[in-house]
Amino acid sequence: MGKIRTIKIMLIAVFISVEFLAVLVAIGLGLWCPQFVTKIGNLFAQQGWQIYCALVGLPLGGLLFGANTLHSLLHPKDAEQKGLYKWPDYSPLRYFSYIPLILCFIGVATALIFLIDTSLLSPLLTGTIYLAVTFAWTVSIVTLKMAQLRIDAILGGAD
């Protein structure tokens, strides 16, 4: 029963989330504004280290920022904040907080795959996929940071 409940919680976290909405926004941009999305897809075909740094560096920076935020969220340093471990919903919090890191890793992998083989997909599909992943990890990292700040405020005694 525990594994089924965990899978159910993870599916709910994926499909009822702002990250899923961000993916839908990127798909909508691909449908209603294909010129803009095609320009982003064409960036992968350009040569130059600046393009490589931007396309791969953004999700990589998000991954590092998210890992730092996740560590400070799940491992509080103050003794009074360690009461978070006794919270009944601490286990789902741990599951949900790994989602931003997974999305950032997917963003890095996607950018690397598109940079290695630029003819893999059309520029429109490449741009749509890259925007969807980028929107998803950005929203997810911002949500994770807001959760960390709010938990610090609640456990630290602030409003």
pLDDT digits (tens, 9 = 90+) for 103-152: 888 888 888 888 888 788 899 999 999 999 999 999 989 988 998 888 77
Looking at residue 82, the DSSP 8-state letter turns out to be G
Inter-CA distances, 28 with 18, 24, 82, Å = 15, 6, 43
> What domain count does the chain have?
1
Q: List the one residue out of 148, 149, 141, 151 whose CA is nearest residue 18.
A: 141
Inter-CA distances, 91 with 29, 86, 121, 139, 147, Å: 36, 10, 39, 22, 15
Segments forming the whole domain that contains residue 124: 2-156
Question: Which has the higher per-residue pLDDT, 24 or 147?
Answer: 24
Rounded to whole angstroms, the Cα distance separating 73 from 15 reads: 23
| 65-109: pLDDT as tens digits | 988 988 887 777 765 566 777 777 777 777 777 888 888 888 888
